[in-house]
């Protein structure tokens, strides 16, 4: 956001800040959220690149299609372990997962 727009908003009583400030996230929370988003993005990419439906992936993982949807949408109820296991099921190796984690 440019300085002029920020100034106009603040003059009209608006508070301008980051998502982290709005949600009162500490650095650790922010890092975990960014990591989860990177893993979910790659999970969706790998699945669609391979032409695998959510239902097919769910069957391979021994879970349900709604659960796969939650994985791909970064739902907080899905563990990072589940995301990583799903990536491995789709062929991601340790190096790729490491790159996802490193690059965020």
Q: Collapsing DSSP states into helix, strand and coil, what is residue 1?
A: coil
Please count the structural domains in the chain: 1
pTM of the full structure:
0.77
In a domain, 12, yes or no: no
pLDDT of residue 32: 87
Q: What is the mean pLDDT of residues 19-47?
A: 88
Residue 29 sits in a domain of what CATH number?
A: 1.10.260.40
The H or E element that residue 96 is part of is helix 94-103
The H or E element that residue 63 is part of is none
Total Cβ atoms within 10 A of residue 33: 16
Q: Is the pLDDT assigned to residue 53 strictly greater than 90? A: yes
In a domain, 5, yes or no: no
Q: Collapsing DSSP states into helix, strand and coil, what is residue 83?
A: helix
Using only the alpha carbons of the chain, give its radius of gyration: 18
The answer to whether 83 and 72 have CB atoms below 8 angstroms apart is: no
Residue 25 — very low, low, confident or very high, per pLDDT cuts 50/70/90? Answer: confident
In a domain, 83, yes or no: yes
């Amino acid at each position: 956001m440019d300085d002029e727009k920020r100034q106009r908003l603040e003059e009209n009583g608006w508070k301008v800040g980051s998502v982290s400030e709005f949600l009162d996230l500490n650095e650790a929370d922010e890092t975990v959220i960014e990591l989860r988003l990177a893993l979910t993005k790659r999970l969706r990419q790998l699945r669609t690149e391979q032409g695998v439906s959510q239902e097919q992936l769910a069957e391979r993982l021994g879970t349900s299609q709604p659960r796969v949807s939650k994985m791909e949408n970064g739902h907080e109820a899905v563990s990072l372990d589940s995301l990583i296991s799903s990536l491995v099921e789709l062929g991601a190796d340790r190096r790729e997962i490491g790159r996802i984690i490193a690059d965020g």
